[in-house]
Amino acid sequence: MKQLIAFDLDGTLAESKQPLGEPMGDALAELLGVAHVAVISGGDWPQFEKQVASRLPDHADRSRLWLMPTTGTKLYRHGDGAWSPVYAELFDDDTRARILREFDAALVATGFVPEQTWGERIEDRGSQITFSALGQQAPIDAKEHWDPDFAKRKIIQAELRGRLPGLSINMGGATSIDITREGVDKAYGLNKLSDESGIAIGDMIFIGDAIFPGGNDYPAKAMGMDTVRVRDPQETLAVIAAIIACLK
């Protein structure tokens, strides 16, 4: 019997950077009645608060919810009526400066110049630095059509891997590339989750939309964890309903 259901966020529980829809909030609240739930994604805590924490109905059992921003290098739990960090693994100043410098050089080297951007393209999330090709505030439609087959980002990713040895560089969301410390990926975060929760990996399921080689959800599958690949949040709702039926 599975004890914890872990989810990717963008493309799985919600559209890119959008709040959970009401049906998803209700579904997660029902799931929390029968299992622990974790959300692990590249976004930082303010994004998690906007997309997930603030969108759950009042009756949801938040004590069973594990929120893991920046690919699990941060963990937030709920207690005494508020969310608070359990840990945060941050870059040192020299590493942060090197990443930002090489990001700029990689974009020049690959000749990547988008026709239009919306907001800042590089965001320092403390324990992760994220490149959003079209900018942090790009509309969903533009994101979905920019790189649906990941081909554009694979070129930038390869360039960055050559320039930043010793760091993990993975594609996330619809237009993003996430840089974390070496070895930090969804598998790293899920192992941290197992340590913190006391729930074995074998007693978890991971659900995501990027469970394929090169996708930022694939490490969960590669580590041997039970996984379910979904196309979009609508399919995730169907998977949640099936899990609830089984666990009940």
Contact assessment for residue 99 and residue 83, using Cβ atoms and an 8 Å cutoff: no
CATH T-level assignment (fold) for domain 93-125+129-181: 3.30.1240
Domains 4-89+184-247 and 93-125+129-181 share a fold: no
Listed by start position, the domains of the chain span 4-89+184-247, 93-125+129-181
At 93, is the pLDDT very low, low, confident or very high (cuts 50, 70, 90)?
very high
At 17, is the pLDDT very low, low, confident or very high (cuts 50, 70, 90)?
confident
pLDDT at 213 over 90: no
At 1, is the pLDDT very low, low, confident or very high (cuts 50, 70, 90)?
confident
Which of the listed CATH numbers 3.40.50.1000, 3.40.50.300, 3.30.70.20, 3.10.20.740 matches domain 4-89+184-247?
Answer: 3.40.50.1000
Q: What pLDDT score was predicted for residue 31?
A: 98
Q: Mean of the pLDDT values across residues 170-177? A: 84
The string of pLDDT tens digits covering residues 195-208 is 999 999 999 999 99
Residue with the larger pLDDT of the pair 1 and 227: 227
| Range with the largest mean pLDDT of 55-64, 108-117, 149-158 | 55-64
Q: What pLDDT score was predicted for residue 115?
A: 78
Length of the chain: 248
**What is the overall mean pLDDT for the chain?**
93
Residue with the larger pLDDT of the pair 144 and 235: 235
